[in-house]
Structure 1
Amino acid sequence: MLRQSSGVTVLHLDESLSVQSLPLPPEHEIVQLDDIPGTHGMCDPFAARAIERRLRQRMYRGVTLVGSGTYHYVTYFLLRECQEPFSLVLFDHHTDCAAEPPLLSCGNWVRRALFRVPLLRRVVIVGARDAGELGDLGRRDRDVTLIDENQVAGFSTPRRLTARILEATGPYPVYISIDKDVLHPADAATDWDGGSMRLGTMLYALVALRRHRRILGVDLCGEWPVSPIGAMSARSLREIQKNEAANRAILHALRSG
């Protein structure tokens, strides 16, 4: 389960969360990170040290709202805080296991975590479009389970999918990372290619994980990008409202009952 007292942290890396009216609990905080250069898409070593330093100072370690999927690499820093062997459950339309360039990025943070986070025992990726980036993980590939987009669609019920996820996590507590680009465009909107998982299926899985596994932490990204002009367009307003509704439902599934 996820402790109610563990709180919510909102990371201010961009404006994508500031335009939403989310029902945050009293135990919440905002961590300003948008003044750190070298963070967009890729994270240079100076930015990485600054981000980790500010994250260490936060009060709450429950749910972290990241913002745009461009900053999904922040999960890598959050995984490094786990203090016991654990499994990562990643809902994402991409594996984020690209061959590693010199800099940490939103496309390679899972690969880096597999080799640089010693307590990470298993990775379960749910809803990715293909396994193309997983083929060269070498001896660590036994730790990775991919339940790809087609497999997700092939399960007759959310219950069967969830049973597969729970089986793949093994006996460990879990850390959950969610990129809403895994969801069907009717349920969420991002500036990356969207997946086909329905929000109800994800919510069922999140409730089951909360009930059957100890949750070390959760992060959520995949917001619609916001600019001072773009935020005023009719399309942007529609997509922001859609994502806000998804975020509300996900937070409720993680923290209710």
Structure 2
Amino acid sequence: MNHRITYLNFDNSLTEQSFLQKYPHQWIGCSDIPHTNGFCKEESLNEIRKRLQSNKASPLVLIGNGNFHYVTYLLLERIKKPFSLVLFDHHDDMKQDVLTLISCGSWVRYALERISNLNKVVIIGVNEENKTAKLTKIEEKRVHIITKQKVNKFSLYETIYEVRRFLREEKNIYVSIDKDVLFKTEAHTNWDQGNISLVQLLFLLENIVEHYQVVGIDICGEYVINHENRFKQVTWEYVKMNEIVNRTLLKFINELVVVPQESLLA
């Protein structure tokens, strides 16, 4: 089915991907909101929330570069029924920040502490060296990390089995994809990257989503264009690589995933 897609414009990384304009979509401008890059002040987070609500952001959202991945927290807030998060990311995004601000590195822990409908979190593709979470026994019942080292060691079906075994009887899932989980030869982000191929990602996605009701999906991990790299040929190669990955993911979602437009979202 064809989904209306919401594109968030924090950094113009998506506006340069012209093919994306061919999908039914809406834009929500966020580039004028201060204090949002990496860390987000509470008043700025409230303004982003307000714009998502007033524009009725769809269940399928492209966020921009990974510095704004914390927006997923606001997208999870909208879900009315119990659900679990399946996150593809090269980082666990579970830092215990000293500051009370939400950040791109702490939003998963932030969500676990504040969203009552969020039952469990599975994070796939994390580099062992990027694991920041020291899980308590209680947290271990709610969070399961499958590192990229495990994905490479296991068969893909073993990874899927591990996800389903942890989620058990969960019915609803939200999927968040940071393209930094992929090889740099397939997508190029502003963070260190993993070694999962796009084909492996699609394989895992297909075999996971067929067992659950998907209540929302977001994608981030765009390459940041700035005054220093704008006139370099390689910059536009990176933009095109990311666009091709986004197009592939959107095609997959449109063909195989049925996302409810309203029923589970506030």
The reply to whether TM is greater than 0.5 is yes
Matched with 2:115 is 117
The answer to whether the 8 A contact 2:6-2:27 is kept is: yes
* 1:25 CA displacement: 6.1
5+ residue gaps, structure 2: 257-266
Matched with 1:176 is 175
2:141 counterpart SS class? helix
* 1:26 CA displacement: 5.2
Equivalent residue runs for 1:168-207 within 5 Å? 168-170=166-168, 171-207=170-206
**Aligned equivalents of 2:69, 2:110: Cα separation in 1:** 13
Label 1:118 to 1:159 Cα distance change in 2 as closer, same or farther (>3 A).
same
**Aligned equivalents of 1:68, 1:186: Cα separation in 2:** 17
**Aligned equivalents of 2:65, 2:41: Cα separation in 1:** 18
Matched with 1:143 is 142
Matched with 2:157 is 159
Amino acid at match of 1:182: V
From 26, 49, 72, the counterpart of 2:46: 49
**Aligned equivalents of 1:144, 1:136: Cα separation in 2:** 8
Say if 2:86 is the partner of 1:89.
yes
**Aligned equivalents of 1:216, 1:227: Cα separation in 2:** 34
Say if 2:74 is the partner of 1:77.
yes
Equivalent residue runs for 1:17-28 within 5 Å? 17-23=14-20, 27-28=24-25
Give aligned pairs, total: 253
**Aligned equivalents of 1:21, 1:213: Cα separation in 2:** 32
From 30, 34, 37, the counterpart of 1:40: 37
Amino acid at match of 2:36: T
Label 1:250 to 1:207 Cα distance change in 2 as closer, same or farther (>3 A).
same
Equivalent residue runs for 1:54-65 within 5 Å? 54-65=51-62
**Aligned equivalents of 1:54, 1:35: Cα separation in 2:** 12
**Aligned equivalents of 2:210, 2:138: Cα separation in 1:** 32
- Structure 1 residues 36-69: Cα deviation after superposition (integer angstroms, max 9, x where no partner): 1110111001101100000112234221000000
**Aligned equivalents of 2:64, 2:177: Cα separation in 1:** 11
Matched with 1:10 is 7
Matched with 1:254 is 253
Further displaced range: 196-205 or 53-62: 53-62
5+ residue gaps, structure 1: none
Amino acid at match of 1:169: L
* 1:204 CA displacement: 1.2
Further displaced range: 107-116 or 207-216: 207-216
The answer to whether the 8 A contact 1:8-1:25 is kept is: no
- Structure 1 residues 67-124: Cα deviation after superposition (integer angstroms, max 9, x where no partner): 0000000001111111111010000000000112221100000011111111100000
Amino acid at match of 2:152: A
The answer to whether the 8 A contact 1:86-1:172 is kept is: yes
Further displaced range: 5-14 or 120-129: 5-14
Label 1:25 to 1:209 Cα distance change in 2 as closer, same or farther (>3 A).
farther
Further displaced range: 207-216 or 67-76: 207-216
**Aligned equivalents of 2:131, 2:210: Cα separation in 1:** 33
Q: RMSD value over aligned CA atoms?
A: 1.7
**Aligned equivalents of 1:136, 1:212: Cα separation in 2:** 27
TM-score normalised by length of structure 2:
0.89
* 1:253 CA displacement: 1.3
Matched with 1:104 is 102
TM-score normalised by length of structure 1:
0.92
